Structure 1
Amino acid sequence: MQNDSGRFFVLTGGPGSGKTTLVEALKAAGFATAPEAGRGIIRDQVSVGGPALPWRDRALFAELMLSWELRSWHAAHAEPGPVFFDRGVPDTIGYLMLCGLPVPDHIKSAATEFRYARRVFIAPPWPEIFAHDEERKQTFDEAERTFQSVTSVYAELGYELVPLPLAPVEERMRFVLDTAGLTQA
């Protein structure tokens, strides 16, 4: 198992639960971050007319998610301090399970080998902030099912799940930093 995990912090959960806003706040505070795979892939695929979209080819979309997350994990090694990830490798398994698709062995292996900090921050479903946009087409019900799927994967992989409070981003950021034993950069 490759392990630089003590400084690689994952924020995960369902769509529309404030993860990306929190990661952006951490970035603005001076911390290294890794962006969410899904949005980036959707933007790229739409711009080139590609097939790897969740509404066209979910298995191919998952493969690109895995590739993105592995690239982000490797890139994080160049950062000298903590890195906050907007999702991680195990989210790919959660996505495939949510879609009712088989989870290939290489994706299971990746989730076992490419580890993050023991504590994973989980953004629970939050109906008051949930909204649709050009890339987020899921319903709130699907967001809740995504939350259940990804949290079960992280738990099965031995991570400690730390639910984020339903609170303003500044409070969430303080909670994450305190829980991770970090001070603002």
Structure 2
Amino acid sequence: MKNRKIIISGPPGSGKTTIINALKAKDYNCLEEINPAKINDPTIKNNKNSLSEFLFKHREKQYNQFTGQLAFYDRSMIDVVAYLSYWNIQYPKHWSQIIQNCQYANNVFYTPSWKEIYKNSTNRLETYKEAQLIEIFLKKTYLDFGYNIIEIPKVGLEERLNFIINKI
């Protein structure tokens, strides 16, 4: 059976959540990103290791939803590993086995950094320059875990949606 768990990843402010919301509006199964800026517990929010552990567990739980059904994921466990690499923090080695056991569709839809749509907000912790650096770590980490990156073109939302839907 073809794996129908589709990751949409990319740096902050590149349009992932907009795409997920539009797919959801078209009645696709979608799992939203948990935004670190919305976590109220300071013991989690202010400690990168605790935050990463929290996000990893949350995304592992998300993985187990919609078994056998087509579903789109706004980021995955692999994004957590990429962010830890960006912060120069070693991720727990047992995470590699969890990631290997939780296989998504081999093609990851990737929203590249896009200055024209990037917006600063209270929910966005990274600057555009930081987002560009994070992009390097995201791409490398997905490739390291054996995924193919399909870059979503920098076009209008409907064209982006059609691009994704036509590729799955």
Q: TM-score, normalised by structure 1?
A: 0.86
- Contact 2:37 / 2:125 at 8 angstroms: preserved in 1? no
User: What is aligned with 1:34?
Assistant: 31
SS at match of 1:136: coil
Is 1:17 the counterpart of 2:14? The answer is yes
CA distance in 2, matches of 1:68, 1:11: 16
1:1-185 alignment to 2 at 5 Å?
Answer: 6-37=3-34, 39=35, 41-43=36-38, 45-46=39-40, 49-53=41-45, 56-77=46-67, 81-180=69-168
How many residues matched?
Answer: 168
CA distance in 2, matches of 1:137, 1:103: 21
CA distance in 2, matches of 1:65, 1:5: 27
SS at match of 1:14: coil
SS at match of 1:142: helix
- Contact 1:69 / 1:88 at 8 angstroms: preserved in 2? yes
Give me the CA root mean square deviation: 1.4
CA distance in 1, matches of 2:83, 2:96: 13
CA distance in 1, matches of 2:128, 2:71: 29
- Contact 1:93 / 1:108 at 8 angstroms: preserved in 2? no
What whole-Å deviation, never above 9, does each CA across 1:45-104 have from its counterpart, x for those lacking one?
32xx43212xx2011100011011011011222xx6310000011111101001110111
Q: Give the letter for the 1:59 counterpart.
A: N
Same amino acid, percent of matched pairs: 26
CA distance in 2, matches of 1:42, 1:143: 15
- Contact 1:5 / 1:118 at 8 angstroms: preserved in 2? no
Shift >6 Å, 4+ stretches: none
Structure 2: segments with no counterpart, 5+ residues: none
CA shift at 1:5, angstroms?
Answer: 6.5
